[in-house]
Structure formats: C-alpha cells, structure tokens
Chain A
C-alpha cells in the first residue's frame, strides 16, 4: 500500500491545476450528460483534447492526444477536475462505448473516419441494442438485416434508444443469421440516422423529458462495409462495448461531487430554523452514505491498481455497477427527504431548489439502475461469475 504519488505525478497534478486556473472560465456551464453538446461544450472538449485532458490515450492519428496509457494520470485528471468542479471531458455513448469498440475491433478506415469527430463532440451517436421484446435478454433481438448486393437491408424496431432524436449515427445490433443460435446470428452495424427508412419517435420518460426514443427501420439500406467485426460476431463486439458502459457508470469522483452538493444542501435547508444537518436522523443517514462512498472510492483505487498491473480484480469489479448506481440513487433520495415538500417541487415552481436537479436525478438514476444491465442481471453476474454459483437452467431456445 503506497498512496503517495511519485514526484513525476505530483508535477503532473500541478500542470492540471495550472490548466484549470488558467482556463476554467472558458468551461461551459451545465454539460448535459447526453444529447448534442452545445458549441461551448464542443470548444471546451477540443481544448481538453489539445491539452490531453480528454481522449488522452487515443492515438493522434485518430484525433486523440496520443499519450501512453497511464491510469494514475487519468485519475489525477479526474480528481482535479472534480475538486475544481469544472466539467471534465465529454462523456456520451459515442465516446465511452463506440470509440473504444472501434479502436479495439474496427477497420482502419472506420477508425479514421469516425473516432476523431466523435471525440470532438461533432458526431453524436446512439446505441441501438434494446428492442421491445429484448431487454435483459438482449441476444434474443429480432431486428433483421438481410443481404442484398453490397448492402444489408434492415427491418425492425429498437426501443429506449437514448438521444436517437439528436444523433447523427447509430451503432446497432441486428440479426443477420436467423438460422444460427441466438448469440451467433448477430452483427454490429454503424450507420447514419439520416438513412432513408429510419423513423424516430421520442418516448417521454418519468422525468418528463424525452430522454429516449423508439426507432423504426423500414428497408434501411446500409453498405456491408459498415459492419464492425465479422458477420455473426456482433454479440462479441457488443460485449466489448457493454464492458465500457459499465465502467462509465461507476465513477467515484462523480458520486463524490453529488455527495458534496448534498452536504451543502443540508447546511442550507432548514425546518423550524433547524438546519437539516443538525437533524440527528438526516445526519446519521448522511454519515452512513459517506462511509459507503468511502468504501466505493477505495474499491475504485483498488481496481485502478489491478488495472495498472493487468490483473483481474474479480468481485471488486463485478459489483461496481450495482453498488454505484444504488449509492448514487441513495444520495439523491436523502437530498429529496431533506427538502421535504420542496423535494417534490418540479418544473419551474417557486421555491424550487437547485433547478430541480435532485428531483430529476432521483428519477433519472432509477433509469441507470435499470439501463445497461438491470440490478437483477448484475446480481446474476455476481453470483455466477463472481461466486461460481450455478447458472440459470437454460430454457428451450
């Protein structure tokens, strides 16, 4: 155990701090997590890439900064941005999921064409996996792609497709081999959302916003060259992306920021003149969450060390999505309770606190518990892969 950073890392930290001091006024306010980044957000992202605080380890040729992977440097960047409360690099499904997948499994041409504009926030992607009949059981998906000359012709429907209404491109799972077992008949295609035959219908979520969509495909023609990986290997390609998605959802620095905001809130909110933080029950809940957060933070450090040594940390990794989403939701739940009636104000109501972000978060984060592999699916994975318990008996195909 050695939590002291080498002098070279401390020097790096100073660099990051100097950058933040100099440039933080240029940072955009309120980066939406998903959707099309504002022009301000794009310029910020491009400045970050230029200095190596975004796309740090992605090769120059593909529009990244081209640094050698160094997990500690990445962590220092995350820490310093979080401490300074300055928006860090853009995170969206294109950057967090598609880019690593292309870098791992895409052709040279695909990498050259798509990675750079995606990193810069200029091309926005959506993830076309889930279907009405295929959520947790993703491999049962039915959207068909049939071969026709040099093209695939796609027919079917996707659902819960976040940002599809704003996206330029989609990475999409389709069934190309209907006769093969379900995991072996899937291919991974990338194509423009402007392709004729695509219809996007927004789905309003419980937050009142249309955060995701239904996407319908009618005879959508996609050149065969736009497949990632081999035909029939889409399941393998998709699993590469799911791995990145789960990593994206367990960021201790983001939870820490929410926790600090909760502490601030509890110092401000009063009932009968008593601050929430002076209420023993709320305070006890707060400290309890703080301990859980500490555990997740140190678990994160442990994962970092394993990753830098190329070891598989096993359970310590498998539990991250489940625990982080739950903890994030608990933090929001306490914020709501602390506000009492004010905690259910919404829209543009008088007395609304923090623009309603806690209320929105409390609902949206429930979506995160469900999306990207539900809590129950996570528990299946933990018990089967982590603890070696028997797999579910397979039902008939």
Chain B
C-alpha cells in the first residue's frame, strides 16, 4: 500500500513544470489571451514534443500510454501555469472517446495524429450534463441536427467529437456542410470554448458508443478540471505568500499581520487535502472502477469550492494589485472560474453524486 506519487511521476511532473516555466511565462499567457481562439502553435508544438497530447493514448498509436493519475499531475502543472493549451478535449476526452467507442479504423486514423500533436480535437458533451437554450443534438441517418454549447477546445479544431441526445458519439469535421460555429467568449482567455450549430451535418458515428463511454469521458474530464484548479490554486497561494512577504504597510511586511497569515493558512488548509482527493479520483479511474464516478464528482465539486475560496482570498491578499491586470493574477482567478462551471458546476455534480448513491431520484 502506497499513497504517493512514484519517482517517475515526480520526474514527469517536474519536466512538465520546467517546460511550462520556460515556455508559458506570463507574457506568453498575455499574448494568448489577446487572441483566445487561436491555438498557440509554438507552445503546442513544445507540448507535443513532450508527448502531452498523447499522454493517455496507447503506445501502439504513438502515445505515451500513461494512466489517469499521470495525466492528472501533468494537468496540475498546466493549471499552475494557466497554460493556453487545448488539452482537455484533445488529450483527454477525444482520445477516450476514440479508445472506448471508435472502430479500429477510426482509432488508426485519428489517435496517432492526436498523439503527434498534429490535430486539435474539440469535444461537444455539455448537453449530456444539462440542456440550456434548447441545445442538444439529434442524430438521424448519418447526420446531426441541433446545437451544442461550451464545446471544449473549440478553436481551430480539426475534428469534433459530438455526443447526441441518445448516447451516440460522432466525428464531425469542421468544414462539414451545414455546420456553423460561434465563439463563446468567457472570462478565461487561456482556453477556448464555442458553440456548434448543426443543420443536417454529415457525421461519422463511433460504432461502440454507449452511455458508459460518454460517462467515462465526463468523469475523466472532471478529474482533469479538478487537477487544473488544484494547480492554479496552489500557484495562487504561493503568489499570495510571496507577495505578503514583500509588500510593506505600517512599517511591516503585510505577511506579518495575523489577519493575512490566517487567510493564507486557511487557503493551504483547504487546498492541501484536496490534492490527495484529486490523486485518488484519478487513480480510481484506472484502478478502482466502483469508486471512479463518485470520486470524479467529489473531486470536481470539492475543488470547485476550494478553488473559489482560494481564488478570491489570494486576490484579496494582494490588495488593489490583485485586482489589476498588472500582476496578471486574474488569469488564475478566471481559470478557476471556468473550471468550476465546465462539465457541471458543483451543485449539479453533487446531485449526480447523490444519485449514484441512491440518495436522489
């Protein structure tokens, strides 16, 4: 029994951290934020060289064949650096869709391209969690009609994986006839989401689609969003502590005021145990099937709550500076804000957790 990261996992996490420190510093993030719906090609190429897009893809298809815990600790670093990378759809949810529901031919065609970082894959599943604005996609005779909101990795996607209202999953090409696309601009400028509108769009079904496959994509997505918030929250705490150690008022560093210290302690006390929850939820996706769904819900909802608290509190510790664009702290604040709502906000996710345990109809 060992509840800890392995040596290899620590090395993996360190290498991703170093890569992002060098290649995704704040000025890069700012650049990306000015152009949210464009993929940052050089950063993406570097991430691809590290193997990030193919982290979950089996080695037979050119991926690294890593597990979900590995992916989650990579994701933690991505959140830590608010890295503008199309990872959630491309590297996590789309490969899972193909692996769980795709035909061999589909897998052979797409997985190696994803693993090599040659394509970006968007994922449209929001309506499996909740329908707003009459969205939802109907499949009929090889075509899709309807719309899907908050499509993940929407911008410049070379491929979309679309869930219909019947647990079917489909491949849709961005230039398909009858497909129109609208950007949805969110507070978070480090990631792109958008809308897809389908008017009898030709789509290729994934033949082994099932409710389980869709659920598993969502579970994995939720754990990764939790890991993203974990990393972002951790960085916000470190920034708050560092700022409090430098900023002087009343002739003392503000970090010597107990009010400020206690805010920092509360952040750390809330975040530290949630690290173990994220680890376990990711581990469970691979190793403890009976726990996986519930723990994905817990990780997602709990990190949403802890993340919100850390995001606002770390900002407060920075005083007026935290509120400005100068420090760029708001990129972390907003990242955590989007993580919270994507793939189900905490109240909704907790209702699912209750249902899983027979506590709700």
Q: Which residues of A contact B (CB under 8 A)?
A: 1-6, 9, 72, 277-278, 280, 283-284, 286-288, 290-292, 294-296, 298-299, 301-302, 304-306, 309, 315-316, 319, 322-323, 376, 378-380, 382-384, 386-393
Cross-chain contact A294 with B262 (CB below 8 angstroms): no
Q: How many residues of B contact A (CB 8 A)?
A: 50
Instruction: Provide the bound-state CA to CA distance between A392 and B4, in Å.
Output: 34
Hey, which chain A residues are within 8 Å of B255, CB to CB? 389-390
- A387 and B268 form a contact (CB under 8 A): yes
A1 to B284, CA, bound (A): 10
Number of A-B contacts (CB under 8 A): 158
B330-352 near A? 1/0 per residue, CB < 8 Å = 00000000000000001100110
Q: Does B22 lie at the interface of the complex (its beta carbon under 8 Å from any beta carbon of A)?
A: no
Q: Are B258 and A295 in contact (CB under 8 A)?
A: no
Kindly list chain B residues whose C-beta atoms are within 8 Å of the C-beta of A302.
Answer: 3-4, 276, 279
Q: Name A383's contact: one of B265, B273, B287, B353 (CB within 8 Å).
A: B265
Tell me whether A1 and B256 are in contact (CB under 8 A).
no
Min CB distance B203 to A, Å, is 36
Q: Contact check, A316 vs B272: say whether CB atoms are below 8 A apart.
A: yes
Contact B261 A384 (CB under 8 A): yes
Q: Please tell me if B149 contacts chain A, counting CB pairs below 8 Å.
A: no
CB distance from A3 to the nearest CB of B (A): 6
CA A286 – CA B298 in complex, angstroms? Answer: 12
B302 is an interface residue with CB less than 8 A from chain A: yes
Q: A1-B5, A299-B276 known; A284 and B269 CB under 8 Å? A: no
Chain B, 13-43, contact with A by CB distance < 8 Å: what is the 0/1 string?
Answer: 0000000000000000000000000000000
In the complex, which residue of chain B has the Cβ closest to the Cβ of A392? Answer: B258
Contacts A/B (CB < 8 Å), 17 sampled: A280-B351, A287-B301, A287-B353, A287-B359, A291-B301, A294-B277, A294-B295, A294-B298, A298-B3, A301-B3, A302-B3, A316-B275, A383-B262, A386-B265, A387-B268, A389-B261, A390-B255
Judging by beta carbons under 8 Å apart, are A287 and B350 in contact? Answer: yes
- Say whether, besides A3-B288, A387-B265, A306 and B4 are in contact (CB < 8 Å): yes
Q: Which residues of B contact A299 (CB under 8 A)?
A: 272-273, 275-276
- Nearest chain-B residue to A4 (Cβ)? B1
What chain A residues lie within 8 Å of B277 (beta carbons)? 291, 294-295, 298
Nearest-CB distance from B138 to chain A (Å)? 30
Q: Does B69 contact A (CB under 8 A)?
A: yes
Contact of A323 among B4, B6, B269, B302 (CB under 8 A): B269
Q: Which single member of A280, A290, A304, A319 contacts B3 (CB below 8 Å)?
A: A304
Which of B245, B279, B347, B353 meets A1, CB within 8 Å? B279
Does the CB pair B264–A1 fall under 8 Å? no
Give which listed residue, B269, B287, B299, B360, contacts A382 with CB less than 8 A: B269
Beta-carbon contact of B351 and A319 below 8 Å: no
- Interface residue B253 (Cβ < 8 Å from any Cβ of A): yes
Partner of B276, one of A9, A316, A393: A316
CA distance A304 to B272 in the complex (A): 15
Interfacial residues, chain B to chain A (CB-CB below 8 A): 1-6, 69, 237, 241, 244-245, 252-253, 255-256, 258, 261-262, 264-266, 268-270, 272-277, 279-280, 283, 287-288, 295, 297-299, 301-302, 305, 346-347, 350-351, 353-354, 359-360
Contact partner of A305 (CB less than 8 A), chosen from B2, B287, B295, B299, is B2
CB atoms of B302 and A292 under 8 A apart: yes
A380 and B261 contact, Cβ closer than 8 Å, known pairs A284-B351, A319-B268: yes
Cβ-closest 4 pairs across A and B: A298-B276, A301-B3, A383-B261, A379-B265
A2: which B residues are within 8 A, CB to CB? 1-2
Residues of A with C-beta under 8 A to B298 = 290-291, 294-295
B274 touches A295 (CB 8 A): yes
Whether the pair A382, B276 counts as a contact (CB closer than 8 A) is no
Minimum CB distance partner of A287 in chain B? B350
Write the chain B residue with the least CB distance to A292: B302
Roughly how many angstroms separate A376 CA and B350 CA in the complex, as a whole number? 31
> Known contacts being A304-B3, A390-B256, is A288 close to B276, with CB within 8 Å?
no
Quick one: closest B residue to A1, CB to CB? B283
Complex contacts, B268 vs chain A, CB 8 Å: 315, 319, 382-383, 386-387
Considering the chains assembled together, what is the distance between the CA atoms of A245 and B286 in angstroms? 37
Q: Is the interface of A mostly helix, strand, loop or mixed?
A: helix
With A315-B272, A386-B268 already in contact, the answer to whether A1 and B350 are too (CB < 8 A) is no
A382, B241: Cβ atoms closer than 8 Å: no
Residues A301 and B350 in contact in the complex (CB < 8 Å), given A4-B1, A295-B302: no
Indicate the member of B1, B4, B279 with the most A CB atoms within 10 Å: B1
Add 16 more A-B contacts to A295-B276, A302-B276, A379-B266 (CB < 8 A): A1-B6, A3-B287, A5-B1, A6-B1, A280-B351, A280-B360, A288-B302, A291-B353, A305-B4, A376-B262, A380-B262, A382-B265, A383-B261, A387-B237, A389-B255, A392-B256
Q: Which residues of A contact B272 (CB under 8 A)?
A: 299, 315-316, 319
> What's the Cα separation between A302 and B1 when bound, in Å?
10
Task: Give chain B nearest CB distance to A52 CB in angstroms.
Answer: 19
Report the Cα distance A382→B258, complex, angstroms.
12
CA–CA, A386 and B269, complex, Å: 10
Residues A319 and B283 in contact in the complex (CB < 8 Å), given A284-B350, A291-B298, A390-B255: no
CA distance A148 to B215 in the complex (A): 76
Neighbouring B residues of A388 by C-beta, 8 Å: 241
User: Given the complex, which residues of B lie within 8 Å of A1, measured CB to CB?
Assistant: 2-6, 69, 279, 283, 287
Closest to B69 in A: A1
By beta carbon, the residue of chain A nearest B244 is A389
C-alpha spacing A385/B244, complex, angstroms = 15
Name the residue on B nearest A275 (C-beta).
Answer: B359
Alpha-carbon distance between A316 and B261 when the two chains are bound, in angstroms: 17
Rounded to whole angstroms, the CA-CA distance of A362 and B280 in the bound complex is: 30
Q: How far is the CB of B167 from chain A (nearest CB, A)?
A: 25
When distances are taken between beta carbons in the complex, the residues of chain B under 8 Å from A305 are 1-4
In the complex, the answer to whether B354 meets A287 with C-beta atoms within 8 Å is yes
Closest to A5 in B: B1
With both chains docked as a complex, state the minimum distance between the C-beta of A21 and any C-beta of chain B, in angstroms: 24
Q: Are B276 and A301 in contact (CB under 8 A)?
A: yes
- Measured in the bound complex, the distance between the Cα atoms of B354 and A283 in whole Å is 7
**What A residues does B276 contact at CB under 8 A?**
295, 298-299, 301-302, 316
Chain B residues, CB < 8 A from A295? 273-274, 276-277, 298, 302
B245 touches A389 (CB 8 A): yes
Q: What are the residues of chain B within 8 A of A301 when measuring CB–CB?
A: 1, 3, 276, 280
- Chain A neighbourhood of B258, CB < 8 A: 380, 392
* CA distance in complex: A6, B258 (Å): 47
The residue of chain A having its C-beta at the shortest distance from the C-beta of B360 within the complex is A283
**Among A9, A283, A288, A380, which residue has its beta carbon within 8 angstroms of that of B359?**
A283
Most interface-central of B5, B237, B264 (chain A CB within 10 A):
B264
Q: List, in ascending order, chain B residues with CB within 8 A of A323's CB.
A: 269-270, 273
